[in-house]
């Protein structure tokens, strides 16, 4: 049982990576082998629209033909039993690195099949997937900004390719800077953020841990 986590934040010890690590810890607590991949350590580009992965009879059919640091990661994902992606929200999307990663991950397995056709995915198995999001705003602000539709779209893409219904975990109102007094900002109160980090972030960590545990138990 192998559970892979992919971190789309440049910060390896902050909100996104912490939640992802908790999810992997949950899986490991049930005996799963886990691995955390930091996208910002890798040199790679998004999809180049070469369509090698969709060329009938081609040697890259169903696989990404681009060769870079993502190539071995995509290969490893083919043998994973669960996959957890995690990203900070940047301008109401996922981070640029995560977006490029999703293009390279999802497109090769995604067939332009007829709607609702049973053979729409080239991924050989059905595995659990999840997306963890962290963001500065509150849940209410996220809803007002349409953040739920972003999560729903990612759920659809992941579900279409990897088979099982994906899970989403959102962590709101995260603590963003080492020292709020040094940053030019008038919007956030350090006290509110610190209180939030103390009270709610551990609850999100617990939810992530439980999700990882569930994934490991369900295989």
Ligand X SMILES: Cc1cc2nc3c(=O)[nH]c(=O)nc-3n(C[C@H](O)[C@H](O)[C@H](O)COP(=O)(O)O)c2cc1C
Query: Which residues contact ligand X (rule: CB under 6 A)?
Result: 9, 11, 14-17, 88-92, 134-137, 174, 176
Number of Cβ within 10 Å of residue 52's Cβ equals 16
Give the whole-angstrom CA distance, residue 14 versus residue 106.
26
CB of 70 to ligand X, least distance (A): 20
Instruction: Please report where in the chains the tokens 């991950």 appear, as a residue.
Output: 105
What are residue 216's phi and psi, to 5 degrees? -70, -35
CB of 208 to ligand X, least distance (A): 13
CB of 99 to ligand X, least distance (A): 13
Instruction: Please report where in the chains the tokens 């990882």 appear, as a residue.
Output: 212
Q: Which is nearer to ligand X, 91 or 112 (CB)?
A: 91
- Please report the sign of the dihedral spanned by the C-alpha atoms of residue 135, residue 138, residue 143, residue 146: negative
CB of 163 to ligand X, least distance (A): 28
Give the whole-angstrom CA distance, residue 130 versus residue 107.
17
CB of 26 to ligand X, least distance (A): 18
Q: Which is nearer to ligand X, 117 or 144 (CB)?
A: 144
Q: Which is nearer to ligand X, 51 or 92 (CB)?
A: 92
Q: Which is nearer to ligand X, 37 or 216 (CB)?
A: 37
Q: Which is nearer to ligand X, 165 or 189 (CB)?
A: 189
Give the whole-angstrom CA distance, residue 69 versus residue 88.
22
């Amino acid at each position: 049982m192998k559970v892979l986590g992919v971190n789309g934040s440049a910060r390896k010890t902050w909100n996104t990576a912490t939640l992802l690590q908790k999810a992997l810890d949950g899986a490991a607590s049930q005996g799963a082998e886990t691995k955390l991949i930091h996208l910002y350590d890798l040199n790679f580009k998004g999809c180049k629209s070469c369509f090698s992965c969709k060329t009938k009879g081609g040697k890259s059919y169903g696989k990404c033909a681009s060769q870079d640091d993502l190539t071995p990661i995509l290969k490893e994902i083919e043998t994973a039993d669960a996959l957890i992606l995690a990203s900070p929200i940047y301008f109401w999307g996922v981070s640029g690195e995560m977006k490029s990663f999703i293009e390279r991950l999802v497109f090769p397995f995604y067939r332009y099949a007829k709607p609702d056709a049973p053979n729409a995915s080239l991924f050989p198995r059905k595995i659990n997937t999840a997306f963890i999001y962290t963001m500065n705003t509150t849940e209410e602000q996220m809803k007002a900004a349409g953040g739920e539709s972003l999560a729903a779209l990612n759920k659809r893409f992941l579900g279409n390719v990897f088979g099982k219904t994906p899970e989403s975990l959102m962590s709101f109102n995260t603590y963003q800077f080492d020292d709020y007094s040094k940053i030019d900002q008038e919007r956030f109160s350090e006290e509110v953020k610190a209180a939030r980090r103390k009270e709610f972030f551990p609850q999100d960590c617990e939810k992530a841990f439980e999700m990882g545990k569930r994934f490991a138990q369900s295989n």
